[in-house]
Structure 1
Amino acid sequence: MTAFVALAACSRAGGGEAAAPAQDKGPAAEIRLGYFPNVTHAAALIGVDKGLFAKELGGTKLTPQTFNAGPEAVNALLGESLDATFIGSGPAINAFAKSKGEAVRLVAGATSGGAQLVVKPEIASAADLRGKVITAPQLGNTQDVSLKKWLSDQKLGVGAGADQVNVTNTENAQSLDLFKKGDIQGAWAPEPWSSRLVLDAGAKVLLDEKTLWDGGKFPTTVLLVRAEFLAEHPQTVEALIRGHLAATDLALADKSEAKQVVNNALKALTGKSLGEPVLDRAFDNIELTLDPQAGTFPRLAEDAVTAGVAKEAADVAGLADFTLLNKVLTAAGKPPVDSAGLDKK
């Protein structure tokens, strides 16, 4: 049974009537948490490695799982083999839309910024991308949508023709190797991969995605939770958010320690640590924040249509539930985040 069929089956009782809403069952025995081995997932890397999630979760077992891109994590969420995940904004919207607003809730932000279009040095403008091969991590992921939306704005078609841009989807590590070999000419990549392409492979920045957003702020990474898990175990989700805040506060208070923790985690997960210049550049390009920039999500949903990834803009009303986030922030003496109406259906 597919996740979507299963979802439909679970959402209805006999006679076509809606099943009773999930009830609070207290702290969960286990929470399965997804995240990526990217600098844009620094809070997750720190929270896991320093035991900050585990400390807040208490008796709830933390089972971390890593993914290479958002669509993989979405499949795990919708298949109910994952309870929560740090993920890009694009796949978060996609998961909400595919489940008809039922399966997932956005409960916090994690990272703003940290994505760039980097290219071969001889490429000087958007027009020079014609006939070139440019990669994004996975079809429908946040960078894939951003790249295709921007190409559309530049009046550049996506395809294999001489006047088109050949967009391929390749894991970040493979894109680095392909760029070095000359098999691709650029990538729209998250940190640390954009920095690795620039400093380790001689790429240059053609576009920093920050320049496309007011104030340079856009949600690169957010925290998404299964709606059923949130309803049944709000105490566990609140504890997860407290751990997330502790990880973020650590990174903001001691950047040097944060870099070391993230680099050690990346080495453990990928087998290779980052050089200091790459790590420094990557951290300089991101902002760690629990504010998911809710006001950007309607535009992000529209961008997926422009990019050709979605047929129609997803209705994102009801995607967010910041009740627990704002409770945690208030308790810590921090200002609440604005839902920008994203919590209302």
Structure 2
Amino acid sequence: MANTPESQKPDSGTIRIVAGETNKPKRRRALEIGLAVGLVLLIGAGAAVASAVSRSNEAAPAPTTSPAAELKLGYFSNVTHAPALVGISKGIIAKDLGDTKLSTQIFNAGPAAIEALNAGAIDATYIGPNPAINSFVKSNGESVSIIAGAAAGGAQLVVKPGINSAADLKGKVLASPQLGGTQDVALRSWLGHQGYKTNPDGSGDVTINPTENAQTLKLFQDGKLDGAWLPEPWASRLVLEAGGKVLVDEKDLWDKGEFTTTILIVNKKFAAEHPETVKALLKGHVESVNWLNSATPEEKASTINAVLKDTAGKPLPANVIDRALKNITFTTDPLAGTYKKLLQDGVDAGTTKAADINGIFDLRALNEVEGKKTSAAGLGQD
């Protein structure tokens, strides 16, 4: 074999580089690094998305609640609102509210109070049941909660002495405190059961003019009204001061004579934000009702009359307030079992529509304050 020059012998320790392959390892390495970086970024992005989805699926934290700086409370200057009259005048409600300021506003009838409640002008109010039902129905259950009863009984249809039966009412002019109010609904429903047609605009077989209570008394005294369905003390005033007579005592229309006249309701949003304030209001309310039920007739009459003097300008005659108080029961029970009939009365009267009112009651705080169970009759929480 011929000897090969040393310069031409292959070097076993040298990497052999072939022309045209010089950049392949470098490109392969760059590609591998790029793929690795992309994979890391993709995994990171996926983790971020997964984290965001996880956070979005978590339940929102419960809103913080605290006592309200102020409670704006509505009520009527009626004997049927005596728990409010007593609770406010004797400082019971303000005491139980503690550092929460109590502001009050007086209304003549329920629909006006509901309008103020829904507008945020007040946070809670004493009111008749039908405007509360109507608001609940119109708002699909979002506006108000009934949190307690206040008074039962104390509403009558008072008419001129010459009117002796329902048959005598055709073509007559009657009054109620306000269209859609509890007494307005009771009057229209009762007339419907007597075969009369009435319309919200006042037309029909019997004319119904929603009228402020004090004006109703004057119109009746002047002979410009044939009668009115009113709460106390106005029913007693028409009888004792204007010579009227009772054609219908509403208690005769209810099983066991029990029907609710006044309740305590609260704006749902306010209650959710300030549950402790609502509980404090209920504590004062319960104390006020208990005071009314333990006071002597003289104490009760004089205390209520003093407030009526301040709010209405003059006290009631003794015989008027005595008669009114005999017709009323003060109770924290809203008589939830009567509400399906109250709703149907509103439907019959044309002032509300058929609806499901389940959820209208929240009596949990009341039951906690009283230490006993008042039933929501399947229409809410108790």
Q: TM > 0.5 between the two?
A: yes
Aligned to 1:337: 374
Aligned to 1:199: 240
Structure 1, 335-344 or 260-269: larger mean CA deviation: 335-344
SS, match of residue 72 in structure 2: strand
Displacement of 1:256: 2.1
Instruction: Describe the superposition over 1:16-49 as per-residue Cα deviations: whole angstroms up to 9, x where unpaired.
Output: xxx9797352211100000000000000000000
Structure 1, 20-29 or 245-254: larger mean CA deviation: 20-29
Aligned to 1:157: 197
Structure 1, 298-307 or 276-285: larger mean CA deviation: 298-307
Selected match of 1:138 from 151, 175, 178: 178
Aligned to 1:328: 369
Selected match of 2:141 from 90, 97, 101: 101
SS, match of residue 131 in structure 1: coil
1:326–1:178 CA distance, 2 compared to 1 (3 A) = same
Selected match of 1:67 from 88, 96, 107: 107
Could you state the TM-score of these two structures normalised by the residue count of structure 2? 0.81
Aligned to 1:76: 116
Displacement of 1:298: 1.2
What is the CA–CA distance in structure 1 between the aligned matches of 2:102 and 2:281, rounded to whole Å? 10
Instruction: Describe the superposition over 1:288-318 as per-residue Cα deviations: whole angstroms up to 9, x where unpaired.
Output: 00000001111111111101112x2232100
What is the CA–CA distance in structure 2 between the aligned matches of 1:339 and 1:219, rounded to whole Å? 14
Matches within 5 A, 1:248-267: 248-254=289-295, 255-267=297-309
Instruction: Describe the superposition over 1:32-70 as per-residue Cα deviations: whole angstroms up to 9, x where unpaired.
Output: 000000000000000000000011001000001110100
What is the CA–CA distance in structure 2 between the aligned matches of 1:173 and 1:139, rounded to whole Å? 16
Aligned to 2:347: 305
Aligned to 2:212: 171
Instruction: Describe the superposition over 1:123-154 as per-residue Cα deviations: whole angstroms up to 9, x where unpaired.
Output: 00001011111100000000000000000000
Amino acid paired to 1:326: N
Amino acid paired to 1:327: E
Matches within 5 A, 1:218-237: 218-237=259-278
SS, match of residue 201 in structure 1: coil
Amino acid paired to 2:298: S
SS, match of residue 339 in structure 2: helix
Contact 1:22/1:231 (8 A) holds in 2: no
What is the CA–CA distance in structure 2 between the aligned matches of 1:22 and 1:46, rounded to whole Å? 36
Aligned to 1:287: 329
Aligned to 1:30: 70
Aligned to 1:129: 169
Aligned to 2:251: 210
Q: How many residues align?
A: 320
Aligned to 1:238: 279
Amino acid paired to 2:75: Y
Could you state the TM-score of these two structures normalised by the residue count of structure 1? 0.90
SS, match of residue 56 in structure 1: helix
Matches within 5 A, 1:48-59: 48-59=88-99
Aligned to 1:5: none
RMSD over aligned CA atoms reads: 1.5
What is the CA–CA distance in structure 2 between the aligned matches of 1:34 and 1:222, rounded to whole Å? 12
What is the CA–CA distance in structure 1 between the aligned matches of 2:71 and 2:354, rounded to whole Å? 31
Determine whether 1:273 maps to 2:310. Answer: no
Aligned to 1:86: 126
Contact 1:24/1:231 (8 A) holds in 2: no
